[in-house]
Structure 1
Amino acid sequence: MKNLLSTLMLFVLIQFSYSQNASLSGKVVDNNQSPLIGVNITVKNTAKGIETNENGEFEITNIENGTYQLIISYIGFKTKEIEFTISNNENISLNTITLYEGNEILNEVVLDVNRKNKFSRKESAYVSKMPLKYIDNSQVYNTVTNQLLVSQNVNTFEDAIKNAAGVTKLWSSTGRSGDGAGYYSSRGFAVQPQLVNGVPGITNGFINPSNVERVEVIKGPSGTLFGSSVTSYGGLINIITKKPYKGTGGEISLSGGSYDFSKLNADINVSANDKLSFRLNAGFQQQHSFQDAGLKKSVFIAPSLSYQFNNNLTFNFSYEASSNEQTNETFLFLNRYAPLAFSSIDDLNYDTELSFTSNDVTIQNITQNYRGELAWKISDQWSSQTLISGGIAKSLGYYTYLWNGSDELFNLYAQDTDSKTKTTNLQQNFTGTFKIGDLQNKLLVGLDYLNYNIIDNSSNWGYLHTINLQGDLVYGEPAINEENLSTALNGIGNLNSDVSQNIFGAYISDVINITPSLSVMGSVRYDRFDYQGDRNDTSDDDTEYIESAFSPKFGIVYQPILNELSIFANYQNGFSYLDPQYITDFDTGEVTLQSYDVEQANQFEVGVKSNLFNNKLEATLSYYNINVDNKYYWATKTQDLEINSQGIELEINANPIDKLNIHSGFSFNDSEITNSPSATFLEGNRYGESGPEITYNLWADYKFFKNFGAGLGFNGQSEYDTMVDYKSVTGSFNLPAYTIFNASLYYETNKYRVSVKANNFTDETYYSGWSTVTPQQRREIIGSFTFKF
């Protein structure tokens, strides 16, 4: 009996060993044989997947016998597919697998299951237009990740951009003609969000964040790779939209909260087969103001698709259409030409509950943007990217603002807007790697064409009434409504302007790895500007001006600890084409058309980047110094300002302990107008676009249990003079410093997420402005429910 039991036990063990499934293992490295961390490894048509560890290694277990396709994908690298066969439950090792760098494609596979530092996502193919890891890049950029947006339950683009170190809001979106998008300050200069997925994407209104996958804020003058139309000397804002992926799934979200906030969003992805993936994102959002009047409404639809012809050729297309309607936020424009009757918020004596508008007076923005991409893998070393993109942004309705005409009184002016901005962009990029001797080169060669056309049939400006900041009527029509505005604007004429600009650009960039730890980068761009416009409707003679500009860029990176710590320095150039201006000689009455040189800005920057403790501490600290020598000054229409802007920036993404993620930023900016021959009273002043000297932000997210978590954070800035450009004439007007606290609670499973968010939960009264005063959002509570499938 004993022998029989032993025999049966042996038989069971043999059968059990044969029934075990096999495993697949390997190591993923780049072209320099450095291990790649966090590479997505998936077995096609199965639920099996994993990410590579800190050594670039992976192992997938419990694979049944059969033939499979292994998909290896990593942002900034070309996806590789490997066929493998499991037989007799034998374990297989693929040894070392090399991924070659290439453009980011839309159907990337992203697994976040094993990702610990969830607020860190620095790899991008947009910033350098070539695959370049963040720690290898001599340029600084901040990334606001999707995980951070979800953790904070972000419902406005303004709340999203607060997470970028050193970026602060100057103006909210106005919806007005031409430049109605929000204005933000970065490194001492104003910038608007005008780049979508790496190409121009124009909007005149506010941005619905429901289709935003992440936001990249690229710092410093970036004209060499991106030209002048979408950049400022402080940097640029690149919005990355949600893209299709292989698989079927999605989510439906419903939110509601303070001031009649409501939001419905649907995000659905479908893969018809292995080659075609389609994603549809659509939603509606609205909210009333915390003041006595004011509203914002937005509806959008954003389909996108990806079709993979074969392993070497992929076509990607994305489209977004939105219709926004809003009342004008309270913009108190302070008098720029005479001494102010007040110098602080207390002196202003403004009741912030008053909006001085009506819900019947709105402006609409209808926006469409499209982007088509043909990504061709020519070889393991070379790839081609062909892009065509464009858009149209319309402004329709009433734009109003309040101007401090005299003493403590404000005049309300209005315009009936009817304008559209159209863009068409063509790009061709070739990227590749090659060796010259022992030197590894990463090369980008690109061509760029942009047509920019503004057609403006808006009315001239009309006056409605004069009030004080307690809402008392002093003179004019008592009510602000559509009927009174129509009467005020009747018979005053229209602008009838049609201005077009064609920009032809060519650029080349080369990153040379002298050693695995030392690399240098050199880039140059040439642009030719062909400006075509007219003098409103007073002349039939079109004007045409042609200018050109060169823009160089250099960088150096040294890594004392390879892939973990780098020391970098860069020289970057930015430039700006200035439209010709009509100048009136008041002595003779003669009107002439004045052209200008292309503005130039130059930055020198040094800093340190880290990716330590297995990506648990990602940090960047840098010092920058930007000089503009020929800045245009709008009041004198001369080009003789000299501006210096310098400062430090710090950004940290950390995962110090399990389930705790931290994102924080700090900046200090010192800006000064160093020379101004045509307006000497400006010399020594801080440049008006610079905003506050100090900004800071922090957000921490901690999961107490498996499904329950909480977030807590703050953002703030120092006091600043919103009239600094004009204070020699007007005196100063200081907007007070503030710190805003926010918090959230959530419960999340694989099927749903329930969250509640409190913004400004201490109900702080605070302001933004740029020679203006605008009260900001008071305390709001928003609850959200998301169903995942």
Structure 2
Amino acid sequence: MPLKNMENAQSYAVVTKELLKSQVNTNYDDALANVSGIDKLWSATGRPGDGVSYYTLRGFSTQAAMINGVVGISSTSPDPANLETIEVIKGPSGSLYGGAAVGFGGLINNITKKPLDTVGGRVNYIFGSFAQHRLTADIYGPLTADKKLLGRINTALSHTGTYQDAGFNKSVFITPSLTYKPNEKLDIQLDVELYQNKATNPLMVFLNRSRQLFARIPEALQFDFDKSYTANDVTFKNPTTNLRGNVVYRFNERWTSNTTVNWNNRKADGYFQYVMYLQNSNDTLINRYACKQNYAAKNINAQQNFIGDFHIGELRNRLLVGLDYLYQQTETHNSPYVLVDQINTAIDDPDYYKFNAGTIDAAISASTAAKTNNRGRNQVLGAYVSNVLDLTSQLHLNLALRMDYFDNKGTYNFDKDTTTGTYHQTAFSPRFGLVYEAVKGQVSLFANYQNGFKNVSPVVQPHPSISGDFKPQQAKQWEAGVKLDLLNNKLGLTASYYDISVDNMLRPDIVTIDGQTYNISVQDGTRLSRGVDFDVTLAPIQGLNLIMNYSYNNSKMTKADKNVNNLRPTEAGPKHLSNIWANYSLQQGKLKGLGFGIGMNYASENVITNSVATGTFTLPSYTLLNASLSYGFKHFEFAFKANNLGNQTYFKGWTTVNPQMPRNILGSFAYQF
């Protein structure tokens, strides 16, 4: 939809490839630190179903599951080599995107690079601490003399080691794309993404969830975080293929058709392994669990949009009407999870070094537990309409509505020849937005109401008179804020306050029927998330670029199991987050092309376990300092980047303790043509 930021009642942020280049970026997780209100919870695990990194956004967990506006689920985090921009759209945006890939805090949409009608490219080699090596190439240009056929190819070969005693991640990424423009009305785009990797599992220490914790902070755990608790032959692979086709047809100056078809195939093959404290009397004996994965999934996604820009009388309308269809299938043939060994973390336990693929295979062979052999299928049909009505040249009204029909075909068990869990649900998501441009194109006041939903599976209740069928969860957001675009686009700001309430959450309850008590599930649970976001971009003089962001979030369960009622959810992340990055390059003189960058990432304390049964476990706050030095001369670019200059020990987590990278230095050499 042709809508400028100052006319848009939606709060969102954009991370550009130019910003990532100035930061010598090598991974997707670090790229998102440039946006307010978002923080990593888990690194990518590669495990079946949800192997992509988890983030908290406005207090709710979410994943990067959208590519070019359609569902693009993967089993590992996206490689930034093919990204033009990353869009973080805040709030429960179910009115346009449904519930398949949208968290209640917002969604992450990756916009890929497109072919260009000029010849050019960039080859970049990055190297650094802990055996980091990354080679990327981006080449584009016309393939015919009349420039009707354009091509582009992006590739990335990456290897990352570890500061721990074992661990690595290596990958190959190839993304050819074609654009065909036979005339001024028609554009045809074809994209292919081929990804292959081999990696060990990142260390994530699971805490005991059934008793009061003895340790309440990482330092109190007798745990050596320089150990990986894995081995270099305990690996997994996540081969992924994406095929996308997009056709844009312009009927006239007022109406456009946009058709997208996306096919995704992905696998999780190898070992998934984790460690967990489970002893009743101590936090020093830890269990190492593992399973062998054989998982395959495919998605087929089709989307048809009609976009209009027309007047009714003197009132301008920008209308979007669309349909989309999503089919998802998963097939799982996994071994059972087995206890491989138990390690005393308080000492240098000699059994620690015996863990490898062979000991896992032996434990699996000895296990009598059942394997997982099943297939799951579901489909979603959505219809939506959105209109921005210009009541005046400065007052814009947005109304939108989406209907989703979710049909879960159930889970088929190959061993038992049975299908269970079939159900279907229908959900509606309205949206309302109002923008007043107090100064046309420069100062906007905006407010919105947004709705999002998540489908809820039925459960088997213990008494036949109690229904186990449920409605979708519903999230409702009220938001108000201001947007600025001043000084000829040199100063940009988005600041907002939001209030998100969630209804129809499941919680346990006890009922008495005919003198007998039953533990049941009821759907009257509620939750609140409130906060503020600030995003600022500043370019006061030529060569200087500055981004700053800050967010505050206050979340709590307001009607839930008494074990967590009125407590902050563990997925909410730190209450306070702030990030700064400033980059300056000399524009003239003998040192023209010399650049400097400096940045800071701050996160307050993060309560990753929070219940009456366990008490709290808190990750400490941290402040990271980062800096870069670069020089560009003709077609060449040289850069150095230092991350975590102070070598601070810090952690991420979500019911887990996940150690992060210490100080590391990167060097970069690039040739651009």
Question: Please, what TM-score do these two structures have when normalized by structure 2?
Answer: 0.94
Structure 2 distance, partners of 1:612, 1:342, is 51
Give the conservation status (yes or no) of the 8 Å contact 2:211–2:614: yes
Structure 2 distance, partners of 1:313, 1:517, is 33
2:122 to 215, 231, 251: 251
Matched, 1:560 2:442: no
Structure 1 distance, partners of 2:634, 2:548, is 28
Give the conservation status (yes or no) of the 8 Å contact 2:410–2:423: no
CA shift digits 1:284-326 (9 cap, x unpaired) = 1001111111111111100001000100001011111101221
- For residue 731 of structure 1, report the CA deviation from its aligned partner: 1.1
User: Structure 1 473/465 Cα, relative in aligned 2: closer, same or farther at 3 Å?
Assistant: farther
User: Structure 1 438/471 Cα, relative in aligned 2: closer, same or farther at 3 Å?
Assistant: farther
Give the corresponding residue for 2:55.
184
Give the corresponding residue for 2:22.
151
Give the conservation status (yes or no) of the 8 Å contact 1:206–1:324: no
Give the corresponding residue for 1:703.
585
Structure 2 distance, partners of 1:393, 1:581, is 29
CA shift digits 1:324-380 (9 cap, x unpaired) = 221111111111111112111221132221111111101111111121111000000
Q: Aligned-residue CA RMSD in angstroms? A: 1.8
Structure 1 distance, partners of 2:408, 2:504, is 20
User: Structure 1 541/758 Cα, relative in aligned 2: closer, same or farther at 3 Å?
Assistant: closer
2:387 to 487, 505, 510: 510
1:398 to 247, 271, 277: 271
Structure 2 distance, partners of 1:417, 1:582, is 28
Matched, 1:432 2:318: no
CA shift digits 1:645-693 (9 cap, x unpaired) = 00000000101222210011100000011112xx123111012210010
Structure 2 distance, partners of 1:568, 1:327, is 46
> What letter is aligned with 1:346?
E
2:477 to 588, 603, 613: 603
Structure 1 distance, partners of 2:616, 2:65, is 32
Give the corresponding residue for 2:657.
773
Secondary structure of the residue aligned to 1:732 is strand
Secondary structure of the residue aligned to 2:209 is coil
Structure 2 distance, partners of 1:207, 1:290, is 23
Structure 2 distance, partners of 1:477, 1:653, is 49
Structure 2 distance, partners of 1:565, 1:372, is 38
1:348 to 215, 221, 224: 221
Secondary structure of the residue aligned to 1:310 is coil
Choose 497-506 or 483-492, whichever is displaced more.
Answer: 483-492
- For residue 539 of structure 1, report the CA deviation from its aligned partner: 4.6
Choose 509-518 or 432-441, whichever is displaced more.
Answer: 432-441
- For residue 595 of structure 1, report the CA deviation from its aligned partner: 3.5
> What letter is aligned with 1:480?
F
Structure 1 distance, partners of 2:221, 2:523, is 34
> What letter is aligned with 1:420?
A
Secondary structure of the residue aligned to 1:160 is helix
> What letter is aligned with 1:514?
L
CA shift digits 1:547-594 (9 cap, x unpaired) = 1011100000001100001000000000011234456x5xx9x9x994
2:543 to 649, 659, 673: 659
> How do residues 347-496 of structure 1 correspond to structure 2 at under 5 angstroms?
347-406=220-279, 407-408=282-283, 409-470=285-346, 472-473=348-349, 479-490=354-365, 491=367, 492-496=369-373
CA shift digits 1:587-638 (9 cap, x unpaired) = x9x9x99443111100000000000010010000000000001124599865
> What letter is aligned with 2:88?
V
Give the conservation status (yes or no) of the 8 Å contact 1:253–1:784: yes
User: Structure 1 350/543 Cα, relative in aligned 2: closer, same or farther at 3 Å?
Assistant: closer
Structure 1 distance, partners of 2:262, 2:353, is 47
Matched, 1:174 2:58: no
CA shift digits 1:443-502 (9 cap, x unpaired) = 00000100011111111211101113246449x886211111011112533211211111
Matched, 1:743 2:627: yes
Matched, 1:165 2:36: yes
User: Structure 1 582/468 Cα, relative in aligned 2: closer, same or farther at 3 Å?
Assistant: farther
> What letter is aligned with 2:582?
A
Give the conservation status (yes or no) of the 8 Å contact 1:643–1:687: no
Give the corresponding residue for 1:530.
407
Give the conservation status (yes or no) of the 8 Å contact 1:205–1:324: no
> What letter is aligned with 2:196?
S
Give the conservation status (yes or no) of the 8 Å contact 1:465–1:473: no
User: Structure 1 618/344 Cα, relative in aligned 2: closer, same or farther at 3 Å?
Assistant: same
Secondary structure of the residue aligned to 2:371 is coil
- For residue 210 of structure 1, report the CA deviation from its aligned partner: 1.4
- The higher-RCO structure (CA 8 Å, 6+ apart) is 2
- For residue 192 of structure 1, report the CA deviation from its aligned partner: 0.4
Matched, 1:694 2:572: no
Secondary structure of the residue aligned to 2:542 is coil
Matched, 1:319 2:195: no
Secondary structure of the residue aligned to 1:259 is coil
User: Structure 1 463/638 Cα, relative in aligned 2: closer, same or farther at 3 Å?
Assistant: farther
- For residue 535 of structure 1, report the CA deviation from its aligned partner: 5.6
Unaligned ranges ≥5, structure 2: 510-519
User: Structure 1 251/582 Cα, relative in aligned 2: closer, same or farther at 3 Å?
Assistant: farther
User: Structure 1 633/446 Cα, relative in aligned 2: closer, same or farther at 3 Å?
Assistant: same
Structure 2 distance, partners of 1:740, 1:477, is 32
Secondary structure of the residue aligned to 1:486 is helix
Matched, 1:574 2:452: yes
Choose 484-493 or 732-741, whichever is displaced more.
Answer: 484-493
Matched, 1:717 2:595: no
User: Structure 1 610/477 Cα, relative in aligned 2: closer, same or farther at 3 Å?
Assistant: closer
Structure 1 distance, partners of 2:189, 2:224, is 51
Matched, 1:669 2:525: no
> What letter is aligned with 1:770?
W
Give the conservation status (yes or no) of the 8 Å contact 1:373–1:385: yes
Matched, 1:293 2:177: no
Give the conservation status (yes or no) of the 8 Å contact 1:647–1:667: yes
Structure number with larger C-alpha Rg: 1
Structure 1 distance, partners of 2:216, 2:421, is 44
Secondary structure of the residue aligned to 2:334 is coil
Structure 1 distance, partners of 2:230, 2:637, is 38
> What letter is aligned with 2:473?
E
CA shift digits 1:252-301 (9 cap, x unpaired) = 11111101111111111131231010101112100111111111111110
Give the conservation status (yes or no) of the 8 Å contact 2:229–2:352: no
> What letter is aligned with 2:607?
D
Choose 602-611 or 242-251, whichever is displaced more.
Answer: 242-251
Structure 1 distance, partners of 2:57, 2:64, is 12
Give the conservation status (yes or no) of the 8 Å contact 1:578–1:599: yes
Structure 2 distance, partners of 1:375, 1:226, is 20
2:423 to 528, 545, 570: 545
Choose 170-179 or 361-370, whichever is displaced more.
Answer: 361-370
Secondary structure of the residue aligned to 2:219 is helix
Give the corresponding residue for 1:228.
99
Secondary structure of the residue aligned to 1:496 is strand
| Greater per-residue strand proportion | 2
Give the corresponding residue for 2:527.
643
